[in-house]
Amino acid sequence: MNCPNCGAEFPAGAAVCPACGAPRSEIDRLLRTAEKAVDRAVETGAAALNRAAKELEPVVDKAVKTVRPAVQDVARALKPIADATVQATKDVAKAVRPAAEATVKVAKEAADKTVAAVKPAVEKAAEKTGEAAQKVKEKVWKR
Rounded Cα gap, residues 74 and 66, in angstroms: 13
Interaction residues for Zn ion, span 81-110 (CB under 5 A):
none
User: By C-beta, is 13 or 120 nearer to Zn ion?
Assistant: 13
Look at residues 27, 3, 1 and name the one whose alpha carbon lies nearest to residue 12.
Answer: 1
User: Is 70 in contact with 76 (CB distance < 8 Å)?
Assistant: no
- The distance of closest approach from Cβ of residue 56 to Zn ion in the complex, given in angstroms and rounded to an integer, is 44
Provide the greatest CA pair distance for the chain: 148
User: By C-beta, is 18 or 58 nearer to Zn ion?
Assistant: 18
Interaction residues for Zn ion, span 10-39 (CB under 5 A):
17, 19-20, 22
Give phi and psi for 9, each to the nearest 5: -60, 125
Q: Verify binding: residue 4, Zn ion, rule CB under 5 A.
A: no
Contacting residue, 1, 2, 5, 54, with Zn ion by CB under 5 A: 5
User: By C-beta, is 23 or 69 nearer to Zn ion?
Assistant: 23
User: By C-beta, is 7 or 69 nearer to Zn ion?
Assistant: 7
CB within 8 A of 8, min separation 6: which ones? 2, 17, 18, 19, 20
Binding interface with Zn ion (CB under 5 A): 3, 5-6, 8, 17, 19-20, 22
